[in-house]
A and B are shown apart, each in its own frame.
Chain A
Amino acid sequence: MRNPNKYVHFEYANLSIGQSAELTKKISQKDIERFAEISGDKNPIHLDDEYAKNSIFGKKVAHGLLAVSMISTILGTKLPGPGSIYLKQEVKFLKPVFPGDTITAKVTVTKKFEEKKRVELSTSCSNQNNETVLDGTSLVQVER
């Protein structure tokens, strides 16, 4: 049984507009291979040097969802944390993520919906050059 005290966890009443959380991770080729395995998306643009060399990016890139997964991790473990339910995600991919990039994902509470105890959060990921690689919004159901 889950023990909410063990993890970072915010109930609806304790969330405030502007509250944010971040997660930074260096994306390795191993991460990309693991993601291809668990997702089933084995597009060679993520896995095959020879194929990727002739692609629009000229080299291998990470799955778009891999960066989005960092947002999911923040929502599920930091802000709002365990007990929250991911309802909606909108994302625009602005730049590719390459193996070896260091990605910082950030979520910020932008709106609270009192009646249904939901929060909207702005979501973004940037690389080591401070370039935004994706941005969007999330809608999450929060524990009362």
Chain B
Amino acid sequence: MIPLLKQIRYADIFPKQKFVLTKNISQKDLENFALFLADNSKDVRAKNVLAQGTYPNYLLLASIISEILGNTLPGPGYVSLGFMFETKSNNLMNAGENITTEVVVAEKFGGKFLKLHSKSFGGKNEFLLYGEILVMAPDYLL
């Protein structure tokens, strides 16, 4: 059994609660993502996806948010109901950069639902991605 990651129950979550994660994105990370995406199709190669250049790999940034949601806030037991992610700038992302992602609880409602906001920043604190996420938080501890 995998060791249980940090889990927070709905009752213990409060508005403005925040978690920040800074992660160094290596060239290997970018390539792994590109390979994974291309592996979803039999008729294209990873090179094709890498060809999108150094614009932020949208899905890679989103995956860091997924990492926070799944591991920490709210953590294991949560159910993702939907999201909106949007880039609001032409800032670029490069291999070797530290990407900082913050997830903040914006709203609690309905006894189990959370609306969270996310912001992703590049190594020079430039804005990369804004997100709004709707989840159902666990009401039990496993």
> What residues of chain A have their CB less than 8 Å away from a CB belonging to chain B?
2, 6-7, 23, 25, 34-35, 38-48, 50-51, 54-56, 63-65, 68-70, 72-73, 76-78, 82-93, 136, 139
Contacts and interface: CB of A to CB of B under 8 A. Distances in A.
Interface string B37-74: 11011001000110110010011001110110111000
Contacts of A76: 37, 48-49, 52
A68 B59 contact: yes
B113 interface: no
B14 interface: no
A45 B76 contact: yes
B58 A43 contact: no
Given A40-B23, A77-B41, A92 B81 contact: yes
Nearest to A61: B79
A99 B2 CA distance: 18
A92 B84 CA distance: 9
Chain B interface extent, by class:
35 or more
A65 B66 contact: yes
Contacts of A56: 79
A91 B82 contact: yes
17 contacts: A2-B51, A25-B40, A40-B67, A41-B66, A41-B69, A41-B71, A42-B2, A43-B71, A51-B1, A54-B142, A64-B66, A64-B80, A78-B41, A87-B87, A88-B85, A91-B84, A136-B82
Q: What are the 4 tightest A-B residue pairs by CB atom distance, in nearest-first order?
A: A43-B70, A39-B63, A40-B67, A41-B70
A93 B80 contact: yes
A85 B79 contact: no
Contacts, number: 137
A90 B82 CA distance: 8
A95 B64 CA distance: 22
A40 B82 contact: no
B32 interface: yes
A42 B48 contact: no
Contacts of B19: none
Contacts of A2: 51
Nearest to B69: A41
Contact of A73 (B38, B75, B142): B38
Contact of B40 (A45, A55, A69, A82): A69
Contacts of A73: 37-38, 40-41, 44, 49
A49 to B, nearest CB: 9
